[in-house]
A and B are shown apart, each in its own frame.
Chain A
């Protein structure tokens, strides 16, 4: 983790009619940081994440992602980020190799590097004997690990992970976090959402969104002190239980 700021937002707001989905989001994320992005259902996490990925234009406020302006340079932003979600990860009807080649291709990994990098990726993941198998036939845990590796295959500055470990067994979940640490050590910034509160502890800093606002932002340790809580689970519960939007918003 360095002191270089890779995500900087200032009062970033997204409004749908009268409804303010994300309200004045101001935060800074550093290079190589593992940044946990938590929130109750309907708190505005997805909206905020979409804006940061350049998929949705903010209603007001400003932000730079990897040094690129969120309004004018969305194409540049997309080239410099990786994205992985629990829902869409990889093409199940393509083989492991075909998936890597495809995603490497669309992110413009040069052909001469592609072969060597594919080989080393397959090796680090220990998928050598599965390289020509369809992704659909792999166990969920492997799929998710592969999906993460593919998301950072083009060496982006930032990778956005939307509940990457949902439903994965406890051992694989930890292996997944090993991959996240490795990426962070390489200087890739990790922006991650999760429903597992123990995973929030693995983050360098955590932010909590409630009703469209950022209600807390600090290291897990300081958050627990602040709310005199034993675990992040309690911190979350303390912050989210009185949320107004939990029950009546999309």
Chain B
């Protein structure tokens, strides 16, 4: 055990003394997140809103006043026909349409419930969600005020429709993608390079010619990168929640657990690569080609998988980040628990075990 600790300490020396790489390691995720952060306007002001008020009663007037008072909205127009709404959207002039049905107040008074339809242009998915959230909260405020002093339960149901990009593919979805990318890149690339480096400098020879179990040699290499990756994950999460208003609706513990699992998968893959290569360049090339590209293409955060040819969809099942991506989306955005993601966790676990077994089996106790 003392040997193992000495070994791990040595690995930390290596990591902290290579300051350029260290800067890159921590700079990369920060840069990525900030890039995405700047590409977004996280506070939305004076968005043009189109109102389609079929009711024209006191209630809708009241709500409209609230819309007008909000700095987020700028009421553009009142029109009454649906074709007109679509045209306005197409012209790109408006971001959101609020549609009140006829008899809005009537429904509210007599049936205690009424409906409002919100239509948002989701080609910019982040703006669309933010706007519908703002609009919903205005409606909720109004509902609360009505509720005061009333025994009857009043409800205004909002019916949200996203047009052009109903699944909200976009920047919010990038964050889980970026996390997967950064974790994979750091772990696969750095572990494989650091092991191959020992082969290149000849120190691997000395390590092999020692009674120290070679598998521990390899495992101790993984330890620093495991911790570095957790730090990286934390940095990304802090940045994305503060800078980009990314929600973490589910359990943060679960998120870290799933991430640790992905890190282990990636580390095992890094070990496997380092076993089969002898030069740092080769290790880097394989890691980049073998990891970066499939992760970008087949995870689903850049290009929707469901539109891909069937063969690619099957192949995507082999990409660890695809499963991780589903997990993070479920946990962060949908706030789901382990019961929703156990399948994906299982897949990652199996992947890790298989990769680890192969790389330990393949580990050479001799040269060449």
The short answer to whether A and B are in direct contact, CB under 8 Å, is: no
